Amino acid sequence: MNVVPKLADLIADPAKAANLPPEAVPSMLGELERLRAILWVRLTAGNHDGQGQLASNGDRLLDVEEAARKLGKSKDYLYRHSRDYLFTVRDGRSLRFSEQGIEKFIRQRMAR
């Protein structure tokens, strides 16, 4: 019987990933993504006022419609490609986007 290592085991000893059964990989990636989202929300929403404002640094979490408008993309496109953007914040099933992250992304694209 093959024991599947936990996420903490893999972090402590990355070599254990070689023994991870292929069918366990999607679940492990899901756990990792969930942890990433939780930590990102914790990092960015420390002083959240409940209305999308982040008082600590002036950033705001935009919903998909607002983010799509700023980026010139469709809402559907953002849902499909949200993992491609570093400014995406997932909180459970909720999808939000850092306004400052979008503005930085746009500035970087314009500088090319």
For the chain, what are the domain ranges?
7-110
Q: What is the pLDDT of residues 8-59, one digit of tens each?
A: 888 888 888 888 888 888 888 877 877 777 777 777 655 444 444 443 567 8
- Angle CA(10)–CA(41)–CA(84) in degrees, nearest 5? 70
DSSP secondary structure of 16-60: GGGGS-GGGHHHHHHHHHHHHHHHHHHHH-TTB-SSSBBTTTS-B
Examine the pLDDT at 75 and tell me if it is beyond 80. Answer: yes
Question: What is the rounded average pLDDT of the residues 92-96?
Answer: 86
Output the pLDDT for position 46: 52
**CA-to-CA dists, residue 61 to 46, 81, 84, 93, angstroms:** 12, 17, 17, 15
- Tell me the backbone φ, ψ of residue 39, rounded to 5 degrees: -70, -40
